[in-house]
Amino acid sequence: MAYGELVSLRIRDALGVANITERRMMGGLVFLLNGNMLVSHRTLKTGAEQLMFRPGHENEAEALTFAGTRPMIHGGRRMTGFIFIDEGGCPSSAFDRLLELSRRFVETLPAK
């Protein structure tokens, strides 16, 4: 399995809202709200679990204040509005806040 079931359970429990779907993508599991990417996780080659949150451009600065967070760099390009954090370094308080920031942003997007 390309992703950790315990991490999936943690995300499912925290979301607990309607209109959430899951899709295997990008080497892991992506959680979508109304068809828009909200949060994902994957297991890296090192065995570490990496979370990707989508707080949006307006919330990115706050999201990056949590220890261990870093901007998403893809193909050498910074993807604004997306951040990474290693699951092992993500305490519950940070996880909950990052998920809330992401949910608030994604709820503003039109459904797909």
Q: Average pLDDT over the chain, rounded to whole?
A: 88
Please check the confidence at residue 67 and state whether its pLDDT lies above 70: yes
For residue 7, give the nearest of 87, 69, 62, 63 by alpha carbon.
87
For residue 15, give the nearest of 37, 36, 38, 48 by alpha carbon.
38
Mean pLDDT of the 41-61 span: 92
Cα–Cα distance, 6 to 54 (Å, whole number): 21
Please spell the DSSP secondary structure of 57-106, one letter per residue.
HHHHHHHTTSTT-EEEEETTEEEEEEEEEEGGG--HHHHHHHHHHHHHHH
pLDDT digits (tens, 9 = 90+) for 25-40: 878 889 999 999 999 9
The model's confidence at residue 102, banded by pLDDT at 50, 70 and 90, is: very high
Q: Are 78 and 84 in contact (CB under 8 A)?
A: no
Q: What does pTM read for this prediction?
A: 0.87
What are 47's two structure tokens?
């065995």
